[in-house]
Structure 1
Amino acid sequence: MHPETASPEAKRFIVVVMGVSGSGKTVIGSALAEALAGRFAEGDRFHPPENIARMSAGMPLRDEDRWGWLDAIAVEISEAERRGETLVIACSALKRIYRDRLRLASRNLRFVYLKVARNVAAARVAARKGHFMPASLIDSQFADLEPPLPDEDALTLDAARDPVGQVAFAASAILGSAPVVRA
């Protein structure tokens, strides 16, 4: 069966749910993976101990801190594609150079960008229990953020809206029955 004639159930997707801390990547990503009958991976688990220690100490990550982390995520993406599975992975992917690096792992990679206001993200991060990312680093996340440009063909969602509706919209868009932007 040719990909263009395959049923939606037969299609496999690799999706990165991106955005600043507190945008809802884990909530949206895990629900989206379920909606697409795929597997969810939390990008935070790919951080080396040095990155976790750095963020726990209130120090923002630099580009050089992120390369190994992004490469580990890229390996996960490549392996999922090789196995023919649907994967939804949460990864901040704040800069275009980070997204471009991840794109090298899969020609079928899609990005879902969770757009969120700084005050909403800060409140969500402050309310989290047991996470290494302190709310004091929110400003550094927004300083690094380069929202996807139109040529990146990313799906943009308003992270302040109802997650159930956002997941349904994202799944529909990924399956090919909705427009690309909803912000």
Structure 2
Amino acid sequence: MQASKLTVTPTSINGVLIIEPKVFGDDRGWFMESFNAQDFASATDLDVQFVQDNHSFSSRSTLRGMHYQLEKTQGKLVRVVFGAVFDVAVDLRQQSSTYGQWVGIELSAQNHRQLWLPPGLAHGFLVLSETAEFLYKTTDYYHPQSEVCLAWNDPTVAIEWPLEAGELPNLNAKDSAGLPWEKAPKF
């Protein structure tokens, strides 16, 4: 799909879209609208309302994920404003034709790509640069009581993280204790 200010490309997961805003540049630098509700709705045929913006800073090889909420499920529009990440979504929607599949996309400050993730997916990212700043809008509020973490290295899902041979990501305790696919609740 093409809109005047956005290019939208479907991924291999139903409903997951790569959003590329038009970047206007000259010898001074560049400008882009990182979000415009009318352009987003026109380009995606989605009627979403964002209620929360989040911003994280992480160092190289930090892996955050694979997170989702069973209640107050969130759609997310994610992007990187400094550095680069490998962003991953896993389809947990049992009625979806892409149920159990994953997709990974590099998002960076240089490529200006954004990723739309509909509710019903586990989401996470691995930092590829020395540091990265990651921004995302959500369609519902954070609800820690219903948050679940799918194991980042589950062999059934088999995400191909771009790690060096033998390298382990930097994880916090919650992400280290992610649930295996068989035990992770689905939608």
Common fold: TM-score over 0.5: no
Tell me which protein shows more strand as a share of its residues: 2
Say which structure, 1 or 2, has more relative contact order (CA 8 Å, 6+ apart). Answer: 1
- TM-score, normalization: structure 2? 0.24
